[in-house]
Every structure is written in C-alpha cells, then in structure tokens.
A and B are shown apart, each in its own frame.
Chain A
Amino acid sequence: MSIANGARIVKESFTNMSRNRVLTVTSIFTVFITLLIIGIFGLFLLNISYNATALDELLDVKIFLVPEADVYTINDLNETLNRDEKINKVEYISQEQAYEATKELFDDDMESLGLGADFLPASFVITLKDYDQVDYVVDIYRQYPSVYKVTYHKESFDFTSNYSKWIKNISGVLGGILAILAVLLISNTIRLTLYSRKDEVIIMKFIGATEGRIKIPFIIEGGLIGFFGAIISFIVTGFVYVRVYNMFMNSSGDELFLTGLKIAPLQETLLMVFVGFIVLGVTLGVAGSLFAIRKHLRV
C-alpha cells in the first residue's frame, strides 16, 4: 500500500466518523468512562503494591521460640521454614539482636531497668507468598514444641487479603462490563457507518477490492474511536493523579506522612497509564470494529 493510499484510507475513516458524529462521540465517551474506571482502580492497586514494602512490616508473622530452644532445634526449624512453599522470606532474630533493637527504642534504658540480653526470646520473622494462608501457617507452626508463640497483625492481613481482593474484583467486573459495553457501542457505530456506506462497499466488492482494503477503513475507524477515548481518559486520570500526588507530597507533616505510605512516582506512573490506555483503547476499538464487520464484509 502506497503512502497516498494509506493517507486516503485514514481520511476515509475520519470522514466516516464525522458523518456519524453522535454515535462516534457516544462510543468515544464509553471508551473514556471504561478506561477512567479501569485507570482509577488500576492506580489504586498500583499504589497498594508500591506500598507493599511499607505494609510488609504489618504483614510479618513472628514465630517466638522457647528460651530453652538449642541451636539444633533452631536450625531444624529454620530449614523447615525455608522449605515451606507457602513462605516467601525467613529471617532469624536472635535474642541479642532483639535486645539491641529494643535497646535503641528505649534509649538504652534497658540495663537500668535490669533487663538483660535474655529478656527477649529469639524469633523467626516470616513473610508469606499468599496472605490468605496466614491462619493455616500460624496453626502449623504454633504446634511446634520449640515455638513459644506465633503472632501476626490480623487486621492488616484481613485488610490486604479482603480489601485488595475486593478492589481487584470490583475493578475487574466493572471494567469488564464497561469494556463489553464499549465494544458493543463501537461495533454499533461501525455497523451504522457500514450501513451508510452500503453502496460503496458493494461497489468495492464488485470492482475487485481485497477484503483487507474494504475492512481496513472500518478497523481504523474503531481504532481511532478507542484512541480518542484513551486520550481523554488519560487527560482526566492524569489530572486527578497529579492533584493527588501533589497533595501527598505536600502533606509531609500530617497523617499521610506518618503512616509511612508512599505514592508511586508521577512520571513513570503517567507514562505507564498513557501507554496502557492507548493500547487498551485501541484494542477495544479494533475489537468493536471486527465484531461489526466479521460477517458483513466478506467478498
């Protein structure tokens, strides 16, 4: 295909879009809403995962050992924990290490209080691969004779496990429904274009145009609808994210800062959203077109 032919085909697609202005705008709007919702939920999830390190501490499981646990027992347990497929990371904290850490916290007042290095038990700090498994893992290791007790921050696990799942499910379902709606609407727009260009399509068929030559302007049209929807979505999502980002960055003295929570970096995130939106928008548009023309444009 020559450049002139390519340019003509793109021009054809723009002409069709302007002919069916109302439907085109509706379709662009649907893509916009779809991507906006997917984007907002997506950014929320992205920031949750970005804060995973911050949350990690809250999602640790601590296995405290009985004082009489000897080096062999500790090594055995260490090996068992490292072999356990449900466990992601294992860290051993000796009595001395625990003591030193606590000492820092209490400004070295420990000794004046008469608390020695054996005051705190040795422990294993583990993180899990799947937070849903926490109860199961805790129950198992609690039964070990060398284990004094197992602790974890139940609320954090419940939040991470339930809410992140909930957010994922909602964005998945809502995004899915809207994506289907977008595909159907775009498909409807293309079908109307097809109807308004019925004669042209018939002429093209009988003149000997290839199936690709007939279909490409319609596919480009769908792609353009998706593209424009994605651009508008990006502008709105980007604007909201910049506002939230600035709010976050300027809140160094208040609560947000104290929680230790971070926000994903602006430039990288916006670039990722831009690329994601364009790819998703164009894919939705092309899918809508293909759905509309799959039967109607056979040579």
Chain B
Amino acid sequence: MIIFKDVTKVYKNGTEAIKNISIAIPKGQFTFIIGPSGSGKSTLVKMIMREEVPTYGEVFINGYDMLGIKRHQIPTFRRSIGVVFQDIKLLPNKTAFENVEFALQITGVNRRDINKLVPHLLKIVGLSQRANAYPDELSGGEQQRVALARAIANGPDLLVADEPTGNLDPRTSIGIIELLGRINKMGTTVVVATHDSTIVNRMKKRVIVLDEGQVVDDQMKGQYI
C-alpha cells in the first residue's frame, strides 16, 4: 500500500528533510509517524499526498509510482487517499453538511447520491444533529469530525492525518483518534503524523519514529518515545 524505498528528500534550499528512508505500510494498517519538529514527519506526509516528490529513491502509494505518475493521473490518485489537516480547513461559509457535500461535488458525484451519502458520513463521525451548523458554531473536535467525514467521503483506501489533534484538548483528541480507529476497522489504511503522546500510547498501534530525517525506531505495538 505505502512503500518508501531508499528515499531522500533535499529541498531547494539544501535542507535534507528525509535521509535514505525505507518503509512499507501494508493495506489496512494503522500507523503513527512520530518525531520532534523538523524530524521529517511533514515531508513524509507530503510525499504520501504527492505534494512533494523524492529527490532520490522510490515511493509507491496505492499502486501509483509517485515519480512516474502523470499529471493528469494525480487527481485520480488523490481520490484514493483522504487527508486531514492540523488546521482542519473547513470552508467557513458552508455548513457541516455542505463541507462534506463539497468533496463529493468536486469529484462529480450526482445529487441523489450526495443526499444519501452525506447524512451517512455525518452519522459515522457522530454529527448527524449538527449537519446545518456552520464551522464557527462547532467546537474544535466537531470541526475535526466534519473534516474526517469529508476526508472519507470518496471512500479512500488510505487516510492521512497530519497532526489531527494538534489544536484539540486531550479529551477531544482521544475522541478523534478513536474515530480514526473505527475508520481503520472499516478497512481504510490510516497514517497519522503526530507528536501527541497521549493518543499514540492509547492506541497501541505501529509507531515509526523519525529523527533528523531518519527512521530511528519502528515497532508494531509502539509507545511514544
């Protein structure tokens, strides 16, 4: 599902963010990528989303070669992954329903299916009652749940979350990470980049530790180091 083979990423300014990393994350796995700031977590996530490409090495995501992929294939590839951002990025002028609907509209889902799918997705994230609320009427946790519903709207094989609990209190964070766990149990591969030790230790899932662009630890039932 996710394969990084001898991957190095050097930015234009000369910063070597990732140094010769090799990682394989199989389909259906829940994986944390942890490490201090500047350890290369975000670069790794960006390479999964094909926002960045490796300078050296090979990256394969959902069967797509990230270096060989053609520009017109990128949208199709991105529909196979869902993304959750730390700053949530909900559209402020749209309700919870409309924010989720937006993801389906963009990919050309018809109105009838949208009307069936959105309530279902909001039910999964536990926000059926808040469908008509605007982002500024929702709590941080609720906003992140809407973002999660949006991320899984197109049925991705892989869900990537970059610091999904970064702006949330511990109790809300646990709620979000448990929701990610439930999504994972439905068959979606989940990769979470975080430095939140509470959620990592609670989930007891695979933990890949990065430091200065290198993998320094990789355990199947890891703890936050």
Q: Which residues of A contact B (CB under 8 A)?
A: 1-2, 4-5, 8, 199-200, 202-211, 213, 298-299
A210: chain B residues within 8 A (beta carbon)? 72, 75
Contact A209 B106 (CB under 8 A): yes
Checking B71, B72, B107, B111 against A207 with a beta-carbon cut-off of 8 angstroms, the contacting residue is B107
Known contacts being A199-B89, A203-B89, A208-B154, is A5 close to B79, with CB within 8 Å?
A: no
Residues of B within 8 A of A298 (CB): 71
A204 CB contacts on chain B under 8 angstroms: 106
Q: How far is the CA of A202 from the CA of B151 in the complex (A)?
A: 13
Q: Can you list 14 residue pairs at the A/B interface with Cβ under 8 Å?
A: A2-B110, A200-B91, A203-B89, A205-B78, A206-B78, A207-B103, A207-B153, A208-B76, A208-B77, A208-B80, A208-B154, A209-B75, A211-B72, A299-B75
Are A5 and B154 in contact, CB atoms less than 8 angstroms apart? no
B83 in contact (CB, < 8 A): yes
Decide if A5 touches B108 in the complex (CB within 8 Å).
Answer: yes
Residue B134 is within 8 A (CB to CB) of chain A in the complex: no
B102 within 8 A of A: yes
Most chain B CB atoms below 10 A, which of A4, A5, A207: A207
**Which of chain A's residues have a CB closer than 8 A to the CB of B71?**
211, 298-299
1/0 per residue, CB under 8 A from A, across B43-76: the answer is 0000001000000000000000000000110111
Task: Please name all residues of chain B whose beta carbon is closer than 8 Å to the beta carbon of A199 when the two chains form the complex.
Answer: 89, 91
Interface size class on chain B is: 20 to 34
Q: Are B107 and A208 in contact (CB under 8 A)?
A: yes
Name the residue of chain B whose CB is nearest to the CB of A206.
Answer: B83
Binding site for A on B (CB under 8 A): 49, 71-72, 74-81, 83, 85, 89, 91, 102-103, 105-108, 110-111, 150, 153-154
Residues of A within 8 A of B111 (CB): 4
- A203 & B78 in contact (Cβ 8 Å cutoff): no
With A207-B103, A208-B76 as given contacts, are A202 and B89 in contact (CB-CB < 8 Å)? yes
Residues of chain A lying within 8 A (CB to CB) of residue B79: 207-208
- Measured CB to CB, the nearest residue on chain B to A298 is B71
| A200-B91, A202-B89, A206-B49 known; A5+B105 contact, CB < 8 A | yes
Q: Which residues of B contact A200 (CB under 8 A)?
A: 91
CB-based nearest B residue for A4: B111
Report yes or no: A203 in contact with B91, Cβ–Cβ below 8 A: yes
Known: A5-B108, A203-B102, A299-B71. A208 touches B78 (CB 8 A): yes
- Chain A: minimal CB distance from B70 (Å): 11
Q: Which residue of A lies closest to B93 (CB)?
A: A15
Complex: A5 Cα to B107 Cα, angstroms: 11
With a CB–CB cut-off of 8 A, which chain B residues contact A4?
111
* Besides the known contacts A199-B91, A202-B89, A207-B79, 7 further A-B residue pairs in the complex with CB atoms under 8 A apart: A1-B108, A2-B110, A5-B108, A206-B49, A207-B154, A208-B78, A208-B107
Which chain A residues lie closer than 8 Å to B72 at the CB level?
Answer: 210-211
- Once the chains are docked, how many angstroms separate the CA of A4 from the CA of B113? 14
When distances are taken between beta carbons in the complex, the residues of chain B under 8 Å from A205 are 78
- State how many angstroms separate the Cβ of B80 from the closest Cβ of chain A: 8
Shortest Cβ gap from B138 to chain A (Å): 16
- In the bound complex, residues from chain A placing their C-beta under 8 Å from that of B107 are 207-209
Give Cα A200–Cα B92 distance, bound, in whole angstroms. 10
B76 CB contacts on chain A under 8 angstroms: 208
CA distance A207 to B160 in the complex (A): 12
Least CB distance, A18 to chain B, in whole angstroms: 12
Q: Which 4 A-B pairs have the closest CB atoms?
A: A208-B79, A208-B78, A206-B83, A209-B106
Residue in chain B with minimal CB distance to A199: B89
Report the bound CA distance from A201 to B150 in whole Å: 15
How far apart are B90's CB and chain A's nearest CB, in angstroms?
Answer: 8
- A200 → chain B closest CB, angstroms: 6
Partner of B75 from A5, A8, A203, A211 at Cβ < 8 Å? A211
Question: Looking at B74, B106, B153, which has the most chain A CB atoms within 10 Å of its CB?
Answer: B106
Q: Roughly how many angstroms separate A209 CA and B49 CA in the complex, as a whole number? A: 14
Known: A5-B108, A8-B105. A208 touches B89 (CB 8 A): no
Which chain B residues border A208 with CB–CB below 8 Å? Answer: 75-80, 106-107, 154
Q: Roughly how many angstroms separate A200 CA and B83 CA in the complex, as a whole number? A: 14
Among B71, B78, B85: residue with most chain A CB under 10 A: B78
Q: How far, in Å, is B73 (CB) from chain A's closest CB?
A: 10
Chain B contacts for A211, CB-based, 8 A: 71-72, 75
In the complex, what residues of A have CB within 8 A of residue B91's CB? 199-200, 203
Closest chain-B Cβ to A286's Cβ sits at a distance in Å of 21
A207 surroundings in chain B (CB, below 8 A): 78-79, 102-103, 106-107, 150, 153-154
Min CB distance, B69 to chain A, in Å? Answer: 11
Pick from A5, A203, A206 the residue with the most CB of B within 10 Å: A206
